Amino acid sequence: MGNYIRFDWMIKRLLRNKSSYVVLEGFLSVLLNRQIKINQVLESESNQEEKEQKFNRVDLLVEDENKEKILIEVQNDHELDFFQRMAFGASKIITDYMKLGEAYKTIPKVFSINIVYFSLGQGKGYAYHGTTVFRNMFNADDELKLSPAQKTKFGVDEVAGIFPEYYILRVNKFDDEVTTPLKQWISFLKTGEIPDAFNAQGLEEARNILRVDSLSKEDRQVYKRYLEGLSLADGFGAGRAEGERQQAIAIARNLKAAGLDIDFIAQNTGLTKDEILKL
């Protein structure tokens, strides 16, 4: 057990206490690159906890002072359809918080922040941001933008400001030198440690709020059981992930033997071209 409480357990247990908001506000402010003030914690799936999701997934839905909805999800276990889960989560928030008969301009802005501890998709990086952009199908340089009247009515400058935005932090991929506030936060998410040199917003408060020795005896026992359960879930998830990988390799080997294109095989199995060429 390290010196500091895991971030997922923090949002699962401690953020019911408003005194802990400052830690999450710091993280969100650094990630979104603007000051975030949490207005309230809203109902989310984690409040309807299912037994099989007790350790591998934690989510929290908050509303900021601008009434924007921010969904933070931490996924510990390998999940092949996690992208679909992201799309569903953001869509559900829109439908849940838009009343029947209301004008479409009242659709809430949604930020989907996903902290994953497994190899999600293919990519060289560890921090990704996705927005909605409409490009001319016959002229890639032409982007469909909002009119002046729409900007005034909706209070945003870009089309992306209306649609959900997605952030993905592939924590286990982080191995860079810590040179920015966001990298300090990602380093903490990966290692669970906050070196004295770290000064990103929210981390100074985290040094006090998230200390394991600051927990009550009862909470410390609950946290210990959580870590034990997480360890078991990680082992199960690793076994399942390896099984899925072996299945993908078998499919790729058959497709390659059938003479199909390497790009096609990569797109349909999730393996890299180099991995397929070595089969």
Contact 194, 207 (CB under 8 A): yes
* Averaged pLDDT, 1-29: 82
In whole angstroms, give the CA distance from residue 196 to residue 203.
10
27, 166, 247 from 32: Cα distances, Å: 9, 11, 38
Sign of CA dihedral 200, 206, 212, 213: positive
Element (H, E) at 184: helix 181-191
Q: Indicate the average pLDDT of the chain.
A: 85
Nearest to 119 by CA among 242, 227, 5: 242
Cα-to-chain-centroid distance, residue 261: 33
**Which of 51-60, 139-148, 176-185, 246-255 is predicted least confidently?**
51-60
- By the 10 Å C-beta count (0-12 exposed, 13-18 middle, 19+ buried), 61 is classed as buried
Residue 201, pLDDT > 60, answer yes
Q: Determine the straight-line distance between the first and last CA of the chain, rounded to whole angstroms.
A: 41
pLDDT for res 93: 93
* Averaged pLDDT, 99-109: 82
DSSP 36-79: --EEEEEP-GGGG--GGGTTTEEEEEEEETTS-EEEEEEE-S--
Confidence of residue 51 (pLDDT cuts 50, 70, 90): very low
Confidence of residue 199 (pLDDT cuts 50, 70, 90): very high
- Quick one: angle between helices 217-257 and 262-269, nearest 10? 150
In whole angstroms, give the CA distance from residue 75 to residue 162.
26
- Quick one: angle between helices 181-191 and 21-32, nearest 10? 130
Residue 53, pLDDT > 50, answer no
Higher-confidence residue of 230 and 72: namely 72
In whole angstroms, give the CA distance from residue 160 to residue 144.
11
Q: What is the pLDDT of residues 225-236, one digit of tens each?
A: 878 777 765 555
Structure-token pair, residue 89:
């989560």
Structure-token pair, residue 125:
């990086």
Percent of the residues in the chain that have a pLDDT greater than 90, as a whole number: 45
Element (H, E) at 144: none
Confidence of residue 241 (pLDDT cuts 50, 70, 90): low
Confidence of residue 44 (pLDDT cuts 50, 70, 90): low
Q: What is the pLDDT of residues 130-164, one digit of tens each?
A: 999 999 999 999 999 999 999 999 999 999 999 99
Give the pTM. Answer: 0.79
Residue 174, pLDDT > 70, answer yes
Nearest to 131 by CA among 155, 156, 151, 154: 156
Confidence of residue 16 (pLDDT cuts 50, 70, 90): low
